Amino acid sequence: MGIDWWTFGFQAVNVLILIAILSRFLFKPVADVIAERQEAARKLMDEATGERARASVALGEAQAEARRQAEARDARLSEAQAAAEAAGRQALEAARAEAQRIVTEARADIERLRSAERKRADQRASQLAVEIAARLLARAPSGELVVGFAEGLCKALAALPESARAEIGAGAPARLMVSHALSEAGRARVAELVSHALGRPVELAFEVDPSLIAGLEIETAHAKVSNNLREDLRRIREELEREPG
């Protein structure tokens, strides 16, 4: 079988023309499209890489911010806990101080009550002692209860200034209070003692005052001299009721 070189040539030319046509109208557009797609894909990849980098940076910043917020929260919690503990300690100290104050005041109140009760007891005891003394002396002879106090009265009269002694019995009888009525002899004895104390005769006006209990008392316009059981018991009671120290 022989080869038709003309046919073969035409077929080769046709193939070349077909390749040229395909290259011109198919391969090149397809290659351009592929290149454009590749470029677009590359851009997308670049953009994705950039977004990923930015996302990574944002993630790091977010994590750093989260750590800062956590640290700030922990610091606030620590401060709040410390403040709460300090407030608790202050409240505890205040409660202890208040309790101590209440105890101190209670002790002071108890001591005041005890002191007041002791004082009342002392007053009752002194009053009772005064009453007992008064009752015992009331059993003594009435004249002796007056005359026996006259010497003490005369000593007090003698100790008065001269001007005060001169007023007693000057121009009128001196008023002499006695706890009990005296006999003539008793009045004479008392008048003798008073006149001796004043250094001159003195007329006396005797008046009975049972509140004196025992003894006597003389009054002038500017002086009063007494020596009686009422005054003695009053001084004793005041001494007994006086606070120690």
CATH 3.30.2320 fits 140-241, yes or no: yes
Listed by start position, the domains of the chain span 140-241
Instruction: Please report, as a single letter, which amino acid is at residue 32.
Output: D
- Between 192 and 77, the more confident residue is 192
Question: Which helix (H) or strand (E) element contains residue 67?
Answer: helix 28-138
Is the pLDDT reported for residue 129 higher than 80? no
What pLDDT is recorded for position 36? 80
Report, in this order, helix, strand and coil percent for the chain, each rounded to 5: 75, 10, 15
Cα separation, 153 vs 226, whole angstroms: 6
For residue 198, CA distances in Å to 175, 215, 217 come to: 15, 19, 15
What pLDDT is recorded for position 134? 59
At 132, is the pLDDT very low, low, confident or very high (cuts 50, 70, 90)? low
Nearest to 204 by CA among 136, 123, 146, 142: 146
Q: Which of 44-53, 151-160, 224-233 has the lowest mean pLDDT?
A: 44-53
Nearest to 174 by CA among 202, 214, 146: 202
pLDDT in tens, 137-196: 555 555 566 777 888 889 988 888 888 888 888 888 889 999 888 889 889 999 999 999
Rounded to whole angstroms, the maximal C-alpha distance in the chain is 210
Is the pLDDT reported for residue 212 higher than 80? yes
What pLDDT is recorded for position 190? 92
Average pLDDT over residues 92-110: 81
Enter the pTM of the model: 0.44
pLDDT in tens, 25-41: 666 666 677 778 788 77
What pLDDT is recorded for position 206? 92
What pLDDT is recorded for position 210? 87
Distance of CA 84 to the CA centre of its chain: 25
Is the pLDDT reported for residue 225 higher than 80? yes
